[in-house]
Structure 1
Amino acid sequence: MDVDVEPKINFSHKEIRVLLLHEFRLGHKTTEAANNMCSTMGQSLVSTRSAQRWFNHFKNEDLELDNLPRSGRPMELNMDLLKPLIEKDPLLTLRCLAEQLECSHTTVEKHLNELGKT
């Protein structure tokens, strides 16, 4: 019994946006574009809502396909700033450290785990 198994291809966000731009330039509607891409590249490649959002960018002549910087707290922090803080007061909470370093508490937690701290 032969079964057709397509290998899973991992596309970057930028590659998916290039495919959406191609569909847009072909004059396809968003639902048609999402269906075309999912039927040929994988069922969960892009949602109709994502296609709509990107088609709106393209209609407004916004052809930037890279991720733009977002507002909010940075995801990375300088370990040289974190180490002295925890050495000075090892009882500081994650949220207190996050406030001082101007980042999220989950970012602090991730970096503390890398340092072997709990």
Structure 2
Amino acid sequence: MQFRVGACMELLTSHRNYQWLRNLITGDEKWVLYINYQRRRQWLSAGRAGVPPPKTDLHPKKVMLSMWWGVKGIINWEIFPDGCNITADLYCQQLDRVAEKLKGKQDRIYFLHDNARRHVAKSTRQKLLELGWITVPHPPYSPDLAPTDYHLYRSLDNHLREKKFEDENDLKMDLLNFFDQTSQDFYEQGILSLPERWQQVIDSNGAYIVD
């Protein structure tokens, strides 16, 4: 908890001095299921049987979504089949692709990602130095301070609820529609809400934010 407070104090002071959030790029990975049915509560009168929910597959078909974004919207996104291991080497290749898409659009880049092993590997840290990106401190186990978790993926989960996809192309088209239909204000809100959340953590002595 104290580490969270210290990190948030550092970030808040830095932001007040430099106002760098509009140059922030962030991202993460997420499993996306082909079938997204959820159990629902049913209110029934006495003697009535409920509608049985769809059976949950013990090994659901899914893909890994990787994405990077900022206040202007999505920069790059990719999906990988179940079983694909995103290693530090693959992650570095992805960072190169993100950097290529940012070329000529943004001079200084502040980069926020969590502390997953591939994100903090020596090769990844070396790649970020080569790219000249400034890594933003992130307290471990703090999804409430990661805009991709508390903002973008939460909205995506709501979008995917109760949907079923026949194949990978069907799923890709739905993701593309979601990204295209989401306004720039949405992305700005997710990034620019960070100082308020840092202050909440400081004021609560490191407690997690419950939205």
What is the TM-score with the length of structure 2 in the denominator?
0.18
Say which structure, 1 or 2, has more relative contact order (CA 8 Å, 6+ apart): 2
Structure whose residues are more often helix by fraction? 1
Q: Which has the larger radius of gyration?
A: 1
What is the TM-score with the length of structure 1 in the denominator?
0.27
Structure whose residues are more often strand by fraction? 2
